[in-house]
Structures are given as structure tokens and as C-alpha cells.
Structure 1
Amino acid sequence: MSENPETQPARTVAETAQTVTLFTQPEHSNSLGNVHGGVVLKLCDECGGIIAARHARRPAVTITVDSVHFHRPVLLGRLLLVHGHITWVGRTSMEVELRVETEDLLTGEVTHTNSAYFVYVALDEERRPTPVPRLLLQNEEERRRFAQGEARQRARLARS
């Protein structure tokens, strides 16, 4: 039987935040000589999956890629950094905000290249959705992001 989310300890945004990195190489390139978008998406999903599993303390699977914005190309030879954190949690699902940056290791220049929201569901031992801990919001910015995540969730449900 799944645990009641009210009895699980709430987690803070900071407790589950994560950064995943990749030094981009020629095997990551597309036909234009930039990093292939699929490489960026895979790294986003890995980062988001770590965050969701860390929050739920259970396996978590991707159920929605809500939005991905490609602001700038990711150039080869740069360090690719995916920073993520939980923005909203429901009964069994969690929204993760991801910010992708590149760093030129020779100059130190950091460029914001992508933004995304992924949604994950925690699974129990039978691979069924299971309740997740509440999110302990610690400041006004986290409360604002939670409210925005709640609005995005309502929009996702309206589309389905």
C-alpha cells in the first residue's frame, strides 16, 4: 500500500536541486556542427529524473515534457550544465524546472541556452503512481514558482 503523502516528511527545493554536466564532443554534434537537441533533452531528462527520484525517494518516470525552449545553439567544446529544481508537487506528480547553460572553459563565459519544464510521476513497487512528499516552500520566490507550476498543471490537465 502506498504511503500517505501527509505522513512523509516534506522536502525543500534545495534538498533535491541538482546540476548535471557534460563536456560536449564531436559525437554530440548535429549536421550544423552544434550539439544535437536530443543530447540536450536527454541530459535534461536525466537531471529531472534524479531530482524527482530524490524528492520522492522512489523511482520516477517522465510523463510530460511540458515545454522546451531553445534560446541559443549549444556549441561543441563547451561544458553543458543542466540545473534543475522542483517547482510544484501534486499527489503523485512533480514538476521540475530546468535551466541549461554552457560554459566556455577558456574564457569563463556562461550562456543560457535552454529552458524546460518536465513532469515526473513516482512509482510504487507495482510500478503504479504513488503519493509524493509535500514541498516545503521557504521563501516568496518558491511560493511564486509553486503557484505558477500549479497553473501549468491545470493547463496540462485541460489539454489532456
Structure 2
Amino acid sequence: MSTENNGQPFFDDPHAALREIARNPDAYAHYLADFHRVVLDMRAKLEILQREARVHCRGVRVDGDKWGQAFLRSFPVENSLNGVLKDLKSATSGLEKSAHKRHAHDEKVKEVKKGRKEKAQLKARKNNPTLQAAPENPGQQGAQSPNPGYGGPTSICNLDRRESA
């Protein structure tokens, strides 16, 4: 039985499941999608409640009301539900952003690993270059060959026989 830093057994740790979810980007997205569905369902039900409360509160009239007094009395109720709906909307967008950013973080970690590996290979190649042998053309100095190396015209007078680049 392994123990954590605080001396509790591992299976008594209430955050162990969430720790595993946080390590896996797919599980993280799935977990947040469950919350997203719940929040969207709550939001839909609260929108219906808001509409019904507005109709009821604006319709309640007291004897002696002047025009618009019932409307003004319903404002605090409507504004409180509007605030809750606004918060739920920002919560849903925050859940979506969090899932996307977790995935982007995982991709960036992979890119950084790949980039550092390539950089290390380039550095190793730079520090230990492979030597290439110069092409050998014995006996063909000055003459053109199908594979020209260092043997080409040696003076200005021989420039007309030189191959173009």
C-alpha cells in the first residue's frame, strides 16, 4: 500500500481520479463535456423559468397601480435571472476554452520535444560533421567531364571551355 506525502493511503485520496483525468487530454475533454451538458441543460431550464417568471411578474397588478408599475416591480426578478444566465453562458464558454487549451498544451509539448530533438541532432551534426571525399578525376585536368569537381580551367584563357553553373 503506497502512501502520499500526508500519510494517507493512496485509495483514500479523493483527488486521485481527478489527477488521472488531468493527465489525459481526452479524458479531460470528456469530463468537461459532461459538465458542459449539465450546464447547458440548467441554462435551458432557467431560460424557460425566466420567461415564465417575467410573464407572471409583469402580469401581477395591484389595485391603484399606474401604468408601468408592475413592469418596474418585475425588474429585480428578471435582472437576477439574467445575471445567472449570463454567468452560465460564460461558464459554458470557459469549459469549452479549457478543453481546447488542454489539447493545445499537449500538442505544444509534443512540438517542443520534437523541436528540441531536431535541434540536438543539428548540434551533433555540426560538432561531428561527416567528411566527404573530393571527387577524383586523374588525367582529365582542364578537360570537361560529366562530373566536374575541382579540375576545371586553371587560367583565364580556358574560360570558354568551362561548364556553366
Q: Which protein has the bigger strand share?
A: 1
- The TM-score by the shorter chain falls in which range? under 0.3
Q: Which protein has the bigger helix share?
A: 2
TM-score of the aligned structures, taking structure 2 as reference length: 0.22
TM-score of the aligned structures, taking structure 1 as reference length: 0.23
Higher relative contact order (CA 8 A, sep 6+): 1
Please say which structure displays the higher CA radius of gyration: 2
